[in-house]
Structure 1
Amino acid sequence: MAPAALLLAALLGWGIYQYAYDYFAHAASRQKPSKPVDVNDVLKTTVTALTLIGAVLAGLYAYRKQLLSEGDAHRADASQLADRYTTAAEQLGHDQAAVRLAGVYALARLRVVP
């Protein structure tokens, strides 16, 4: 997967470089007198574009990771609530009255707060 991503990034960089070079060559040819293309400007533009694309992709990755983390937290909360409910329900069926009363109190504390 990593070699494919590196190849894709290289192809994207090459495409941006070619586009920027053509853009600067066209702009330079319209000037009187015409000037040669400054390769440093082309390289700066290419690096800037690739940096912007990388920043956007990193932001999307961080956003997706945050969503997955929040989903895991919600599932953990739901699992803990189910475990507490099961324990309280088992206490309600116990032979001793004190344990049954503890089960009632445990169920009362199980309010789900959104």
Structure 2
Amino acid sequence: MAISLWRKREAPRGRYTPPLWPVWIVAPVALIAAAAVGWVIYHYAYDHFAQAAQGQTPAKPVDVNDVLKATVTALTLIGAVLAGLYAYRKQLLSEGDAHRADASQLADRYTTAVEQLGHDQAAVRLGGV
């Protein structure tokens, strides 16, 4: 039996938690992606600053500090977006917990009402209704 990451899993009845990928898959992929994006942004910024420096007379060398500042700024923006996605995921999980608690409370009420309907006293049966 092959494990597929792309196959849509059907949630069992009564399950309100969204299907999430396991952390042991997401964490290494996120770290590798962040490193790759940082490398690409650094080289893009370096090339941009190098072209700007060549256009000046006399030509000035590229200031690596400016390149690092631009890279860190871009990575910070990406990190802020990812933090927003994390907060959204956490909200989905919290809503799933709330739905589960509501379903549990409803089941408890139903069980109590059914027990009251089978009681010997009429007043208790009326309370179950």
Same fold (TM over 0.5): yes
Q: Point out which structure has higher relative CO (alpha carbons under 8 A, 6+ apart).
A: 2
> Residue in 2 aligned with 1:95?
120
Question: C-alpha separation between the residues in 2 aligned to 1:103 and 1:39?
Answer: 76
Answering whether residue 88 of structure 2 is matched by residue 63 of structure 1, we say yes
Partner AA of 1:49 in structure 2: A
Larger C-alpha radius of gyration, 1 or 2? 1
Structure 2: distance between partners of 1:7 and 1:93: 62
Q: 20-29 vs 76-85, which deviates more?
A: 76-85
Partner of 1:46: 71
Structure 2: segments with no counterpart, 5+ residues:
1-23
Deviation track 1:36-79 (CA, whole Å, cap 9, x = no partner) reads 11111000001111111111101101111111111210121122
Query: Could you tell me how far apart the structure 2 residues matched to 1:5 and 1:103 are?
Result: 54
Name 1:35's counterpart in structure 2: 60
The separation in 2 between residues aligned to 1:3 and 1:67, in whole angstroms, is 23
Match of 1:109 in 2: none
Residue 73 of structure 1: aligned partner = 98
Work out the CA distance in 1 between the residues paired with 2:28 and 2:116: 57
Q: Determine the C-alpha separation between the residues in 2 that align with 1:37 and 1:31.
A: 11
Length, aligned pairs only = 104
Paired residue type of 1:37: V
**CA positional deviation for 1:4:** 4.4
Distance of aligned partners of 1:4 and 1:74 in 2 relative to their CA distance in 1, 3 Å threshold? closer
Unaligned runs of 5+ in 1: 105-114
TM-score, normalisation: structure 1: 0.80
- Within 1, Cα distance between the matches of 2:105 and 2:45? 56
2:50 corresponds to which of 25, 29, 33: 25
Q: Secondary structure at the match of 1:35?
A: coil
Q: Counterpart of 1:12?
A: 37
**Given residue 58 of structure 1, which amino acid in structure 2 is its aligned partner?**
A
TM-score normalised by L of structure 2 = 0.72
Distance 2:57 2:32 in 1: 40
